[in-house]
Amino acid sequence: MMKPVLRVDGAGATPCGGTPVVDWPKAIWNGGLIATTLIAGPVFFTWSAFVMFLGLTYLTLLIGHSVGMHRMLIHRTFQCSKVLERALIYIGVIVGVVGPFGIIRVHDLRDWAQRQPKCHDFFAHRRSLARDLTWQLFYRFRFDRPPRLTIEARIADDPFYRFLETTWRWQQVPLATGLYLIGGWPWVVWGVCARVVVSTVGHWTITYFCHNPGERRWIVQDAYVQASNLPGLGMLTYGECWHNNHHAFPESARIGLEAGQQDPGWLVISTLRHLGLVWDVGEPRLPSAREDLLDQTA
């Protein structure tokens, strides 16, 4: 298994000092898609477009976001060929939340802040769901003293990833063209606009509940934010709902660690491993070897 990358240097930084400010490109992107979906969605509704929307939303989030962006790109829980790596990340870009560098930046800065003794509510998700969604969809956090984020060279210097980071919003155009040729405007509205909205809002909604009080076994000591598991949502969230497990063992490619914790993302990874397409698949470290981890069931 590849060693985790330490991308954030928090020396001299504060996770509390700062304020959310409107991120106008993000606000226009998300706001425009939400408005288009609310107005055009009912007008262009067809059952074929809706079924396509359900399938495309699930598959892009499962393969691109959960497996590609989260478990592979961010946490490096498995290795694969460059061709497969790029394919997974491209599907993750199609989800429409952010580009490959952006997803690392959003995740790693948030994770760093949450593991400090205290952090701002923007990262801790301590406000109401409505306030938190507004922040995550339309704002960015402006630090008074920001930590330093360094993306490893093999990612930052890759010309394909640099291209995707610059053009990630425009990557919806080829998809929209294909959908239009198959199903006309209903497939474009539901396959692009509605899908991106549901993917983005759904991502931040699950993130909100996973970082508020709920079912949890593991306590990461000295961390301000303790993640929770959301029972019964394994299939719907691709296994990402077992977030207490993930905070405890971010090196593990499998997030649903206990019996009954369904994890479709792990099924994809284990299938790829069986086919010889991925290797060095990460497993949880032994809890006994962790000084920072408390098992509440012990």
Q: Where are the chain's structural domains?
A: 21-145+155-295
Q: Residue 68 above 60 pLDDT?
A: yes
Cα separation of 95 and 60, whole Å? 6
Average pLDDT rounded to a whole number, residues 288-293: 78
Average pLDDT rounded to a whole number, residues 118-135: 98
Q: 106 or 288: which carries more pLDDT confidence?
A: 106
Which tokens sit at 45? 């509704």
> Which of the four pLDDT bands, split at 50, 70 and 90, describes residue 292?
confident
How high is the pLDDT of residue 75?
97
Average pLDDT rounded to a whole number, residues 208-212: 97
Average pLDDT rounded to a whole number, residues 246-274: 97
Q: Which of 176, 258, 235 is nearest to 244 (CA)?
A: 258
Rg (CA), the chain: 19
How high is the pLDDT of residue 285?
86
| Paired sense of beta strands 278-279 and 79-80, if any | antiparallel
Average pLDDT rounded to a whole number, residues 131-139: 98
Average pLDDT rounded to a whole number, residues 125-144: 98
How high is the pLDDT of residue 286?
83
E strand spans, the chain: 8-9, 18-22, 79-80, 139-143, 148-149, 218-220, 278-279, 293-295
How high is the pLDDT of residue 170?
98
How high is the pLDDT of residue 4?
60
How high is the pLDDT of residue 148?
97
How high is the pLDDT of residue 1?
46
